[in-house]
Amino acid sequence: MLFNGFRSMEYTTASASRSFLRHGMRFSTSVPNDPDTHDDFKPTNKLENSEITLKDIVEQDVKDNLVMIYMKGDPEQPRCGFSSLAVRVLSEYRVPIHSRNILEDPELKNAVKAFSMWPTFPQIFINGEFIGGSDIILNMHQNGELKEKLKARSSE
Ligand SMILES: N[C@@H](CCC(=O)N[C@@H](CS)C(=O)NCC(=O)O)C(=O)O
Ligand code: FES
């Protein structure tokens, strides 16, 4: 399943669907090609109306999902070695991996960078906390920190 870049390696969660609905609004602008249509009746950009921003979407993603990765490509088909490595590391654990493909949405890519203040991808969040990229997650896997982080959450 692919909802505007959002993927989950398990079944789609309610949060994923919600994110899709919200994120999907960004592309709902349409203007009918009818000369009689008065401006007042034209459909407007619902994102502007609802004031949902990409930052809101990122905030929701990382809040709703234990493991959230913004990556190039998706877990089944990473488009970069760094993203591929991060997914391989995370796949060692029995936790769902939620992802968005930033290659599909340059604006989302910029929003994620601004949110984390981190310049590269992949970007991994666990339990709402920004962790880092593939080198950091690999290191945490090797030194046991990642296991602790994921265990800490699952035993709550
Ligand atoms: N140390 C980082 C390196 C990742 C990296 O260099 N990513 C580059 C190439 S994929 C990147 O995202 N560049 C910025 C961009 O593409 O916008 C990691 O291990 O995750
Ligand atoms: S896309 Fe070239 S290194 Fe990631």
Q: Which atom of ligand 2 is nearest to the CA of 121?
A: 4
How much is the ipTM here?
0.99
Q: How confident is the model at residue 19 (pLDDT cuts 50, 70, 90)?
A: very low
Its pTM surpasses 0.80: no
Q: Which atom of ligand 2 is nearest to the CA of 83?
A: 4
Q: Which atom of ligand 2 is nearest to the CA of 80?
A: 4
CA–CA separation, 67 and 124 (whole Å) = 7
| Signed CA dihedral, 3, 5, 11, 17: sign only | negative
* Model confidence pLDDT, tens digit, residues 121-149: 999 999 999 999 999 999 999 999 999 99
pLDDT for 47 equals 52
CA–CA separation, 147 and 92 (whole Å) = 10
- Average pLDDT over every residue of 23-28: 38
120 Cα to the center of ligand 2, angstroms:
10
Contact indicator for 19, 60 with CB cutoff of 8 Å? yes
* Model confidence pLDDT, tens digit, residues 31-68: 344 555 555 555 454 555 568 999 999 999 999 999 99
Query: 77-78 and 98-101 as β-strands: parallel, antiparallel, unpaired?
Result: unpaired
CATH architecture designation of domain 53-154:
3-Layer(aba) Sandwich (3.40)
Q: Where are the domains of the chain?
A: 53-154
72 Cα to the center of ligand 1, angstroms:
9
Between 106 and 38, the higher pLDDT residue: 106
Beta bridge partners of 130: 125
Q: How confident is the model at residue 21 (pLDDT cuts 50, 70, 90)?
A: very low
